[in-house]
Amino acid sequence: MRSWLAQANPVVFVLFAGLAGFCAYFSMYAFRKPFTAATFDVVPGWDFALDYKIALVIAQVAGYALSKLIGVKVIAEMRAERRALAIVLLIGASWIALVLFAVTPAPWNVAALFLNGLPLGLIWGLVFGFMEGRRTSEVLGAILCASFILSSGVVKSVGKALMEHQHVSPFWMPATVGVVFMPLLAVSVLALAALPPPSPADETDRGARRPMMARERAAFLARHWPVLVLLIAAYVLLTAFRDLRDNFAAEIWRALGYGDAASVFTASEGPVAALSLVAMGVMIAVKNNGRALLLMHGVILAGFALLGLSTLAFQQGLMSPIAWMIAGGAGLYLAYTPFNAMLFDRMVAYSGTVATAGFLIYLADATGYLGSVALLLFKNFAVVDLPWLPFFTGAAYATSLAGLVLVGGSALLFLRGRRDGTAST
C-alpha cells in the first residue's frame, strides 16, 4: 500500500491521506467530547462551590494541557514509524478512564476526566505528523482541521441521542460513544500507517522534517520569539473561547432556546467546517512560503473581525441565534484553524530550518489550554455571576478585539522582516 501511494496521482493521495487523518482525529473526539452533551444539573455526592460540569471540564483540560506540555518534547522527537501504535495505545488508555468515570462515584470520578485528557492531548501531533512537510499539506491540514470542527458536534449529538433514545446514563454515555467509534478508529489508523514519507520534491518545496532535539528547539525559539509571542498570545484567546463554546454548547443552546434538539450541535458546525476547509485549501495554490504566511495572517484577522461583528449583529437583532452561532463559529475557526496546521508548517518552510511543525503547534497548545482553564475559573468564581449567554457574548468581544491587535502586530513584524530581506519571521 505504501509503495502504491508513493506513485499515486496527487489527487488520489490527498483523498486517501486526508480521509485517513480526518477519520482518525474525528474518532479521537468520540473519546474526548461526548460528556459535554450532558448538563449534570444534579449530581449526588457533589457539594462544592465549583459547578460539577465545570469541574469535569477543568479536570479534562488540565490533563490535556499537561499532555501538550509533554508533547512539546515528545512530538518534536517522535519517530515516524512509532506514531500509529502510539495513537492506538493513547486512545485506548483514554477509554479506560471513561469507564472509570462511569463506575466511580462523585466526587472521585472527576479525576477520571483528568486521566482521560492526559493521553488525548498527544493525538493531534501524532496525526498531523503524517500530514506535514508535503506540497499538499494545506489541503491535508484543512481536511484534518475540518475533523475537529465537525466531530465535536457529531459526537455530542450521538451522546445526546444515546441518553434520550437508548436511556444511557450521562455517566456511561461517554464510554459508550467511544465504543461506537472504535471500528472507524482502527481502520483510519491502519490507513495512516500506510502513508509514505514526504518525497524529495516535498522536501525541496517545504523543507526537510526531522525530529527536533532540545538544542534545535532552543535555537528556533531564539530566532523567532517576537512573532511567536504575539501569535501564541492570540492563540491563547482562541483556545479559551473555542473551549468555552465547545464544552458548554449545551448550556449556550439552552439559553438561546434550543435545549431539546440533539441535532443542533451538528447542524451549526457543518457550514463552519465547509468554510474553513475552503479557506485553508486554497492556500495550496500559493507556492511562495512568505506570501502564504502573510495571507494566513489576513485570514486570521478576518476571522477575529467576523467573530466580533457577528456578535454585534446578533445583539442588535440582525441575526437569528442559529445564524449567529454559524457566523461566529466561522470567524472563530477561520482564526483558529491556521494555528493547528498550515501557519506553523509554512513558518518552518519559510525559515529554511530542518524542523517539525508539531513542536510549534504543541508550544502554542500548551499555553492555550492554560488560558482555557483560567477562563473557566473566572466564570465560576467571578464576583458578578453572569448567565451563560452574556458571559459568552462578552468573551466573544474580548477575543475579537484583543486578537486583532495581537495578530496585527505579528503581521507588521513579518512585513518588516520581508522588507529587510531576511528569512526570519
What pLDDT score was predicted for residue 100? 97
What pLDDT score was predicted for residue 90? 97
| Backbone φ, ψ for residue 355 (5° rounding) | -155, -170
**What's the rounded Cα separation, in Å, for the pair 33 and 247?**
7
0.75 surpassed by pTM: no
**What's the rounded Cα separation, in Å, for the pair 106 and 354?**
48
Domains of the chain: 1-209 (1.20.1250.20), 212-424 (1.20.1250.20)
| Backbone φ, ψ for residue 209 (5° rounding) | -110, 120
Closest alpha carbon to 342 in 65, 87, 144: 144
What pLDDT score was predicted for residue 400? 96
> How buried is residue 341: exposed, middle or buried, by Cβ count under 10 Å (0-12/13-18/19+)?
buried
> How buried is residue 3: exposed, middle or buried, by Cβ count under 10 Å (0-12/13-18/19+)?
exposed
Residue 96 near residue 102 (C-beta atoms within 8 A): no
**What's the rounded Cα separation, in Å, for the pair 56 and 32?**
12
H or E stretch covering 7 = helix 2-7
- Integer angstrom CA distances of residue 385 from 50, 197, 380: 13, 52, 8
What pLDDT score was predicted for residue 340? 75
Residue with cell 488508555: 93
Q: Convert 64-81 to b/e letters by CB count within 10 Å (16 or more is b).
A: bbbbbbbbbebbbbbebe
**What's the rounded Cα separation, in Å, for the pair 56 and 387?**
19
Residue 60 near residue 116 (C-beta atoms within 8 A): yes
- Integer angstrom CA distances of residue 207 from 9, 198, 348, 354, 414: 22, 10, 7, 6, 20
261: left (phi over 0), alpha (psi -120 to 50) or beta: beta
From first to last of its 425 residues, what are the pLDDT tens digits of the chain? 888 998 888 899 999 999 999 999 999 999 998 998 888 888 888 988 888 988 998 899 889 889 988 988 888 888 888 999 999 999 999 999 999 999 999 999 999 999 999 999 999 989 988 988 888 887 888 788 778 778 878 898 899 999 999 999 999 999 999 999 999 999 999 999 999 988 888 877 776 667 777 888 888 888 888 888 999 999 989 988 888 887 777 778 788 887 555 455 555 566 766 776 677 667 767 778 888 888 889 989 999 999 999 999 999 999 888 888 888 888 998 898 888 777 887 887 787 776 677 778 888 887 877 777 777 777 666 645 667 788 889 999 999 999 999 999 999 988 887 666 554 44
State the helix-helix crossing angle for 10-29 and 173-193, rounded to 10 degrees: 160
Closest alpha carbon to 399 in 325, 300, 316, 326: 300
C-alpha cell at 407: 495578530
What pLDDT score was predicted for residue 262? 47
**What's the rounded Cα separation, in Å, for the pair 156 and 158?**
5
DSSP state of 197: P
